[in-house]
Structure 1
Amino acid sequence: MSSPAISIILPVYNAAKYVGEAINSLLEQTFQDFELLIINDGSYDSSEEVVLSFIDSRITYVKNENNQGLVDTLNRGIELARGKYIVRMDADDICVPLRLEKQFTWLEKNLSTSVVSCHISFIDESGKVTGDWEEDVNTVSCREIKQKMAWANCIAHPTVMFRADLIKSYRYNQNQKNTEDYDLWLRLIADGAVIEKIPEKLLLYRVHEASITGTVLRKSNPFFKQFQCKKRFLLQRTMHGKWGLFESSVLLTTIFDGTMGIGKHIKAIVKD
């Protein structure tokens, strides 16, 4: 069996309401040489029924025995992927038809690029566009992304296309739950990887009550969340004897995040 050009990793966890639309948006891509790895991470709703209703030879359905969490599920998908490139996709988002074609072409033409992303539009539960992400819109070039990443994440996780050999050697860090993407960007950039962004909105990013963006990250102290992620990243760099200008920049912003996080926490206590 010949390998596809692209492997799409689509984790599913209780996403019956949206996963059909996500799958359709992938099957209707203008670029068709891909495999779609759908990994059911222990869903207890009707997600499996929705997924199995699609009959397409490019779909491979995998089922975790129980809920393993996003990081383990993504790493399992990376292990199974056979494509030259690996794409991330979430079960509640929608791809614009040209997404795969544009990202594939970008990586084929720009051999120094390790990861290519794109802009997003936020949508609500009904699919209505609700706005843009400022950090996303304002960062396109490798230089802009690197500068911003020292402070905060500026890439929507389900927008990326990786070179498969690269992501297979890095994988996601199990100790960075809910910030596994930001940790990965930091590690890649610190090692000199080129991350770029196509300045087009090629993904509709859904925010709803059950999504991570709509629950865990929104309700937590964002400064503490960034502080913990960066602290773990810097600890790993120190343990492996890797330290440069980028790590020094991240250290300074980590101190800033800790200070701001404490201030936000104190204000919340006083307010209560």
Structure 2
Amino acid sequence: MMNDVKDITAGEKFDFCLLIPCFNNREGLAASLKSIAYTSSSFLIVIVDDGSTMPVSAREMAGYTTGAVKIIRLVQNEGITRALNKGLQWIVDNVNTPYVARLDCGDICHQERFIKQVALLDKNHTIVLSGSWCAFEDEEKGQKFTYRSPRQHNAIIRDMYFRNSFMHASVMMRLTAVKEAGFYPVDYEYAEDYALFWILCNRGEVYIIQERLVNCMLNRKGISFKNKNRQLKARLRVVRNLAPNSLYKLFGILKLYCLRLMPREFILRLKIFVDKMQRV
């Protein structure tokens, strides 16, 4: 592992850290950084360059944001789980921050996203994981929908048996809880976020802001489309191993088996339909 470092004082304090993995997507990364807004410059963006052909430059990326920028550069592509965990380990070892948020290259933040999430966690010390609704759009095909989830803890837990209630790019987590959880589990490739979120759900209170605070582009070349069956298998193992035993668990497993039989495009159209019904 090699570091392209912006000088940061050991133990420097930030209101939150934003963790972004990047692999050969400089344009998407730049767009994401431009969308980040906060009331002060007291936040740190940690970019894990996961072996990109053209390494990401801290000097270049710092020009797109008012926050401090730190680049962790991996010599070889190690995959998102290891990239995220190396970023988390660096944050734990080097800075003083209560929260870590997530964003993916190309995803766009609402101007008040981080203001609202920091305020929520500052006010509610029992919350270990927060998220928001997300807007998805495929500009080429004109398809779009909003990914909606329940607000309160108990409703989210019931929902988690059937799907991942939290969009990964929308979350902000309490760093102490993430550290106690051991970061992202490496045994659930393609569902590492779902696994971590279940662990956090079992350790503290969770909450979802019912506003569209992140815009995500539908990417048919992304992990969810290309590795649908592998992702669903991993999610099955997450529910079996990490979800508390209940009747919901049985129904959640049955739903995942059904999803494995459905084409990915059909599942997407179903999400769009459900979104339309929720807006009626």
TM-score class, shorter = 0.7 to 0.9
Cα deviation for residue 251 of structure 1 reads 4.0
For each residue in 1:158-197, what CA deviation from the matched residue of structure 2 results, as whole angstroms up to 9, or x when unmatched? 10000010111221111211111111222222x2421111
Structure 2 residue 169 is matched with structure 1 residue 158: yes
SS in 2 for 1:48: coil
Cα deviation for residue 262 of structure 1 reads 6.8
Shift in alpha-carbon separation, 1:234–1:34, aligned structure 2, 3 A: same
CA RMSD of aligned residues (A): 2.7
Report the equivalent of 1:202: 213
What is the aligned residue count?
A: 246
Output the CA distance in 2 between the equivalents of 1:102 and 1:124: 27
Report the equivalent of 1:240: none
Output the CA distance in 2 between the equivalents of 1:129 and 1:180: 30
Output the CA distance in 2 between the equivalents of 1:68 and 1:14: 13
Report 1:57-72 matches (<5 A).
58-72=68-82
Cα deviation for residue 73 of structure 1 reads 0.7
Asked if structure 1 preserves the Cα contact closer than 8 Å seen for 2:190 and 2:234, the reply is no
Report the equivalent of 2:62: 54
Gaps of 5+ in 2: 1-8, 264-280
Output the CA distance in 2 between the equivalents of 1:125 and 1:65: 34
Gaps of 5+ in 1: 238-242, 266-272
TM-score normalised by length of structure 2: 0.77
Shift in alpha-carbon separation, 1:150–1:233, aligned structure 2, 3 A: closer
Shift in alpha-carbon separation, 1:253–1:12, aligned structure 2, 3 A: same
The correspondence for 2:28, drawn from 11, 18, 31, is: 18
The correspondence for 1:38, drawn from 47, 70, 74, is: 47
Structure 2 residue 167 is matched with structure 1 residue 168: no
Structure 2 residue 125 is matched with structure 1 residue 111: yes
Report the equivalent of 1:91: 105
Report the equivalent of 1:257: 256
Output the CA distance in 2 between the equivalents of 1:5 and 1:138: 26
For each residue in 1:131-163, what CA deviation from the matched residue of structure 2 results, as whole angstroms up to 9, or x when unmatched? 323xx3242221221111011112110100000
Report 1:179-198 matches (<5 A).
179-189=191-201, 191-198=202-209
Report the equivalent of 2:136: 122
For each residue in 1:55-85, what CA deviation from the matched residue of structure 2 results, as whole angstroms up to 9, or x when unmatched? 4671011100100100001111111113210
Asked if structure 2 preserves the Cα contact closer than 8 Å seen for 1:93 and 1:206, the reply is yes
Residue type at the aligned position of 2:33 = I
Output the CA distance in 2 between the equivalents of 1:163 and 1:129: 36
Q: Which has the larger strand fraction?
A: 2
SS in 1 for 2:76: coil
